[in-house]
Chain A
Amino acid sequence: DQQVKQNSPSLSVQEGRISILNCDYTNSMFDYFLWYKKYPAEGPTFLISISSIKDKNEDGRFTVFLNKSAKHLSLHIVPSQPGDSAVYFCAAGGTSYGKLTFGQGTILTVHP
């Protein structure tokens, strides 16, 4: 039972354009959501998070949107840069849940 799903295995974007990565979840107990970025043979690094009391959180070029009724979140990267090319994981957790559940990841490639 996959509680966090990233249905797009890969995404290709031109430099300077917007990248939109999507994530769906099924567990209503989740109240905290995060995005991580991962390069090959390295550990994931934290990018941005959002709690369920908000519907948007912004940090520089990165914005995360949360639609609780649809159980959907998305990460927008504007403008995209070649250095953004990596695997992006969404993750979900809860204050009483004790652990994070990760999606399968989306490979983002930004072309110069």
Chain B
Amino acid sequence: DGGITQSPKYLFRKEGQNVTLSCEQNLNHDAMYWYRQDPGQGLRLIYYSQIVNDFQKGDIAEGYSVSREKKESFPLTVTSAQKNPTAFYLCASSVGGANVLTFGAGSRLTVL
């Protein structure tokens, strides 16, 4: 069954710690994305990648980093530089840019 797997589903982090969220897809999609959801603010784009070994900053990239070493994987690291990291993080993929996105189930990060 093709889809996107995000892990962990829930994650707790102490202030000052970096944390990495995993995103794996078996849809053979070229493009992958990370969005953040906060109440009342919809989905905001953090980073996106249209091809392996290449990625671009989205609207709110500060305090985050990504890598795209394999087509099926696009991990997101939330660094200690991110001021308000508590949020629901969504990974998505698409056949190409600006196409229909398929989303994972999300990861909820809480900073204690």
Contacts and interface: CB of A to CB of B under 8 A. Distances in A.
B108 A41 contact: yes
B90 A104 contact: no
A102 B100 contact: no
B98 A9 contact: no
A48 B44 CA distance: 20
A93 B43 CA distance: 14
Contacts, number: 66
B35 interface: yes
Contacts of B98: 32, 93-100
B40 A44 contact: no
A73 interface: no
21 contacts: A36-B103, A41-B105, A41-B108, A42-B105, A43-B6, A43-B92, A43-B103, A44-B43, A93-B98, A95-B98, A98-B50, A98-B97, A98-B98, A99-B33, A99-B48, A99-B97, A99-B98, A100-B101, A103-B42, A105-B42, A105-B43
Interface of B: 4, 6, 33, 35, 40-45, 48, 50, 56, 58, 88, 90, 92, 97-106, 108
